[in-house]
Amino acid sequence: MKVAVVGATGLVGTKMLQVLAERNFPVDELIPVASEKSIGKEVLFKGKAYKVVSADDAIAAKPNVAIFSAGGSSSLELAPRFAAAGITVIDNSSAWRMDPTKKLVVPEINASTLTAADKIIANPNCSTIQMVVALFPLHQRYRMKRIVVSTYQSVTGTGKKAVDQLMGEREKTVKGSSAEYPMAYKYPIDLNVIPQIDVFLDNGYTKEEMKMVNETKKIIGDDSIRVTATTVRIPVMGGHSESVNVEFAQDFDLAEVRSILEKAPGVMVVDDPANARYPMPKDAHERDEVFVGRIRRDESQPNTLNLWIVSDNLRKGAATNAVQIAEYLMGKGML
């Protein structure tokens, strides 16, 4: 089993290598790929050093699967070339998500739609993944009509530059450091909240917000679900959090809701208000589960539920979901 990781030196690419190792994915030969400036550098996988190669060299090596986390423009250019060589691509960028000819996959929900003919498979947005993992089992029982979601997203979702900005600002505030640090954001992020993720579109929403709207409908396979989102960057590492308000077509019993969530694949219920137990990013860090708490009825209108959903955005929100897709394909003999 030859596995290429494209974007192997980035935050998500590094996490993909870690998850492949942790889950004992059967990698007989690893082919790390990165941009031209990183060719020749080494990455570690299971204690062994591997030299980073070019995309051309990776295609020539004919891996069974290439897991991409190299950004949208790189994916648009390279994924078709890998696919044309018969290599299955699992792409973590936004490049292919809304392409009607490509599957957008969360294994707990729609892996069964995949076939051997699917050579470019899209990995959804991190915020969308954690939300639909928690909501889909409830949708199957009560049918969702409308979702209102506000996110509280980790700086790791932006990348290493944003982490360096946050830590640089913190050093300056706490220790009076004068060291230079990069600015990933237009504004300071430490001791601040930035209600903008990605660029603004003509409708006043950001690209990240519209990703959540459109991807949710595509993954669940129901365009009738109304979704509205506000996405916010906060000075946190460890995971994304979401306040979700969901209206169903029929009424529900809270005990049954909890039971459904407790049995749902990939979901961990942490909901004990009496003892102040609820999901937090620090508890989700380096975990693959989607944590759900603050489960309560919306008393302002019928058939509506409030939830708090937290997950490690670099793991289930990116790397783990991609590796799970590869595991599914392998298990079905499609790799």
Element (H, E) at 60: helix 55-60
**Annotation marks residue 190 as catalytic:** no
How far apart are the C-alpha atoms of 234 and 196, rounded to whole Å? 10
How far apart are the C-alpha atoms of 3 and 62, rounded to whole Å? 9
What's residue 164's pLDDT?
A: 97
What's residue 203's pLDDT?
A: 98
User: Domain check: are 83 and 169 in the same one?
Assistant: no
Among residues 63, 67, 86, 83, the alpha carbon closest in space to that of 1 is found at 63
Those residues whose C-beta lies under 8 Å from the C-beta of residue 195, and which sit 6 or more positions away, are 230, 231, 232, 233
- How many Cβ atoms are within 10 Å of 78's Cβ, its own excluded? 23
Those residues whose C-beta lies under 8 Å from the C-beta of residue 215, and which sit 6 or more positions away, are 97, 98, 104, 124, 125, 128
User: Domain check: are 293 and 175 in the same one?
Assistant: yes
User: Domain check: are 148 and 288 in the same one?
Assistant: yes
pLDDT digits (tens, 9 = 90+) for 93-117: 999 999 999 999 999 999 999 999 9
| Residue 52: CATH number of its domain | 3.40.50.720
What's residue 301's pLDDT?
A: 97
- In a 10 Å sphere around its CB, with 0-12 CB exposed, 13-18 middle and 19+ buried, how is residue 191 labelled? exposed
User: Domain check: are 297 and 193 in the same one?
Assistant: yes
CA distances from 15 to 21, 27, 230, 255, 332 (A): 10, 15, 27, 36, 25
User: Domain check: are 305 and 324 in the same one?
Assistant: no
User: Domain check: are 175 and 117 in the same one?
Assistant: no
User: Domain check: are 267 and 167 in the same one?
Assistant: yes
| Contact by Cβ (8 Å): 153, 231 | yes
pLDDT digits (tens, 9 = 90+) for 105-163: 999 999 999 999 999 999 999 999 999 999 999 999 999 999 999 999 999 999 999 99
User: Domain check: are 50 and 114 in the same one?
Assistant: yes
User: Domain check: are 141 and 120 in the same one?
Assistant: no
pLDDT digits (tens, 9 = 90+) for 58-85: 999 999 999 999 999 999 999 999 999 9
| Contact by Cβ (8 Å): 235, 154 | no
How far apart are the C-alpha atoms of 42 and 59, rounded to whole Å? 19
Confidence label for 263 from pLDDT (cuts 50, 70 and 90): very high
Alpha helix positions (H), 143-198 = 160-175
How far apart are the C-alpha atoms of 251 and 244, rounded to whole Å? 17
Do you know the residue count of the chain? 335
Catalytic residue among 240, 264, 307, 316: 240
Task: HSE, CB side, 13 Å, CA atoms: give it for residue 182.
Answer: 8
User: Domain check: are 217 and 243 in the same one?
Assistant: yes
Catalytic residue among 17, 34, 65, 126: 126
| Residue 166: CATH number of its domain | 3.30.360.10
Vertex 37 angle, CA 32 and 40, to 5° = 50
What is the pTM assigned to this prediction? 0.96
Q: Show the domain range for 84.
A: 2-124+318-331
**Annotation marks residue 240 as catalytic:** yes
What's residue 121's pLDDT?
A: 98
pLDDT digits (tens, 9 = 90+) for 173-189: 999 999 999 999 999 99
User: Domain check: are 149 and 270 in the same one?
Assistant: yes
Element (H, E) at 230: strand 226-233
User: Domain check: are 44 and 140 in the same one?
Assistant: no
Structural domain count, the chain:
2
- Work out whether strand 65-68 and strand 2-6 pair parallel, antiparallel, or are unpaired: parallel
